[in-house]
Amino acid sequence: QDHLITATQLSRDDIEAVLDRAREVAADPAAYANRHAGTVLALCFFEPSTRTRMSFDAAAKRLGIDTIDMGDVASSSVSKGESLADTVRVIEGYADALVLRHPSEGAATLAAEFVDVPVINAGDGAGQHPSQTLLDLHTIREDHGLDDLTIGIMGDLKYGRTVHSLAAALTNFDARQHFISPESLRLPRSVRFDLHETGAQVREHEELETVLDELDVLYVTRIQKERFPDENEYHRVAGEYRIDADTLTDANDDLTVMHPLPRVDEIAPDVDDTEHARYFEQAHNGIPVRMALLDTLLEADNE
């Protein structure tokens, strides 16, 4: 059974196959309309979402897939104490694939052990968010390509699941990765270890200014308030690593600024009007990329 649980499972060929298909989808969406009519996708979100939930829903519908949504935790039987394992075992009887977001790291791995339909991890706590990575890579590829790339990834590197997935996926390419954060929000030791094991070109910094003029891409992230065990610790680092149009004065002219969104205040609104801003386009790329991903997983499931 093909699942998408973590970006570490993706080879360069896997990534390029999905991104090539995303290009085809973007160029000719009508060719993909109703390709999977009669198929049902279940959206199981145990945490809030705007982009991931809605773009999977829209991507599915553009492929002719019907969607069913578990709804909010409060309105589902999860609120009565039903386990994740029981929930997904029931829902697999209603659907041909599951998209799962959950606050616990490892939740998608667990779900995949209990069901025989493809599971797509739409974010498991501070763990991974691999479909976000595919649309991030698509966005980067269209601007710069994925080789001979210098990227800065800044903000909450400890709890940022989009960061953990993106960093892992980039090890398939000739990418120099600069991680910029306060000491307390460095990449987790396990992620750093895995990156070093692959021989990835990685450096860590506390100041953006140290590397800004080298970057092709600056990937900014939100400080993940909801993941801090101690809110005082959040307030100690909140507001750091904020950029505005002035910050980018010394950047390369073709610097691409990305953010998985939602943002709080880490990118000032005046950046939106610069040539660098690509975060809304990045979010919109969720449609062709998630169409390509669903098409790939369902095609493999039918073989």
- Is 52 marked as binding a ligand? yes
Instruction: Give the shortest CB-285-to-ligand CP separation in angstroms.
Output: 11
Phi first, then psi, for residue 269 (nearest 5°) are -60, -25
In sequence order, which residues have a C-beta less than 8 Å from that of residue 19 and are 6 or more positions away?
134, 137, 138, 141, 289, 292
Give the gyration radius of the chain's Cα atoms.
19
Instruction: Give the shortest CB-151-to-ligand CP separation in angstroms.
Output: 17
- The residue (of 21 and 161) whose beta carbon lies closer to ligand CP is 161
Instruction: Give the shortest CB-210-to-ligand CP separation in angstroms.
Output: 27
Question: Phi/psi zone of residue 199: left (φ > 0), alpha (ψ -120 to 50 degrees), beta?
Answer: left
Instruction: Give the shortest CB-286-to-ligand CP separation in angstroms.
Output: 8
- The residue (of 261 and 268) whose beta carbon lies closer to ligand CP is 261
Q: In what order do the strands lie in the sheet with 175-180?
A: 201-205, 175-180, 149-154, 217-220, 256-258
What number of CA atoms fall less than 13 Å from residue 264's CA on the CB side? 13
- Is 222 marked as binding a ligand? yes
- The residue (of 47 and 96) whose beta carbon lies closer to ligand CP is 47
- Is 261 marked as binding a ligand? yes
Distances (CA, A) of 46 to 22, 83, 94: 27, 12, 18
Instruction: Give the shortest CB-262-to-ligand CP separation in angstroms.
Output: 6
According to DSSP, residue 242 is labeled -
Contact 302, 28 (CB under 8 A): no
Instruction: Give the shortest CB-282-to-ligand CP separation in angstroms.
Output: 9
Q: Residue 120 belongs to what H/E stretch?
A: strand 119-124
Instruction: Give the shortest CB-208-to-ligand CP separation in angstroms.
Output: 21
- Is 144 marked as binding a ligand? no
- Is 225 marked as binding a ligand? no
- The residue (of 50 and 79) whose beta carbon lies closer to ligand CP is 50
- Is 102 marked as binding a ligand? no
Which residues in this chain contact ligand CP in the complex, by CB under 6 A?
A: 49-52, 123, 132, 260-262
- Is 129 marked as binding a ligand? yes
How far apart are the C-alpha atoms of 16 and 175, rounded to whole Å? 15
Cα three-residue angle 242-246-247, rounded to 5 degrees: 45
- The residue (of 50 and 210) whose beta carbon lies closer to ligand CP is 50
Give residue 61's Cα distance to chain centre: 21
- Is 132 marked as binding a ligand? yes
- The residue (of 151 and 200) whose beta carbon lies closer to ligand CP is 151
The pair of three-digit structure tokens given for residue 49, joined into one six-digit string: 């979402």
- The residue (of 130 and 260) whose beta carbon lies closer to ligand CP is 260
Binding residues for carbamoyl phosphate: 51-52, 101, 129, 132, 261-262
Binding residues: 51-52, 80, 101, 129, 132, 161, 222, 261-262
Binding residues for L-aspartate: 80, 161, 222
